[in-house]
Amino acid sequence: MSPAKLDLRAALSRLEGLDGLESPSILLGAFEEDRPLCGACGYCDWRLNGRLSALVRDYGFRCQTGEVVLTDTAGRLPAERILIFGLGSRTEMDLEGFRRALGHMLQVSHKAGLDDLAIELPGAEAGLIEEQQAIEVLLELACERCPGGRITVLCPSRRFADLLAECAGRAAGVRMLGERRD
């Protein structure tokens, strides 16, 4: 039997889930309209005493499609770094927009040599993408762009985490590691 191309883990995208992460890098997305920041990005902002909001408010990160900003966590989260990707407008987040955004996130992380990461799927927290489709695209792109990697998916709900485990169990070249039950 050949080794898995990709190891997956699920964690809930709440404070407890973020506090228990074992990944050194967190990849998040932010929409132009999100003030305050939402989902895992908002929770990370809370843990970092508003640092992510300051990047948006004071330093010119406008959350436009293609923008990326990197910051450290100053030890306030287990991860060492956070990459925030601009997602553009919520109105543009359809299945094709999701595929482009997620592909960009995975491509940037792979080029940066980040093979152990946590990621919040763009628009998943807001319910902008149908869960099954989001997971299928994740599995396809992650196997293609992050071979040999370890990805913790920040899931918006327990139901999403269960669906991820079910889909990963059927996918060739994917191994589902134990889920964090936070």
pLDDT at residue 148 in the model: 86
- 3-state class of 35 per DSSP? coil
Does the pLDDT of residue 157 top 70, yes or no?
A: yes
Give tens-digit pLDDT for 54-100: 988 888 889 999 999 999 999 999 999 999 999 999 999 999 999 99
Helices in 22-130 by DSSP H: which ranges?
A: 39-47, 51-58, 95-111
pLDDT at residue 161 in the model: 94
Domains of the chain: 6-176 (3.40.220.10)
pLDDT at residue 136 in the model: 95
pLDDT at residue 145 in the model: 87
Does the pLDDT of residue 182 top 60, yes or no?
A: no
pLDDT at residue 3 in the model: 55
- Tokens 């939402």 -> residue: 38
Does the pLDDT of residue 180 top 70, yes or no?
A: no
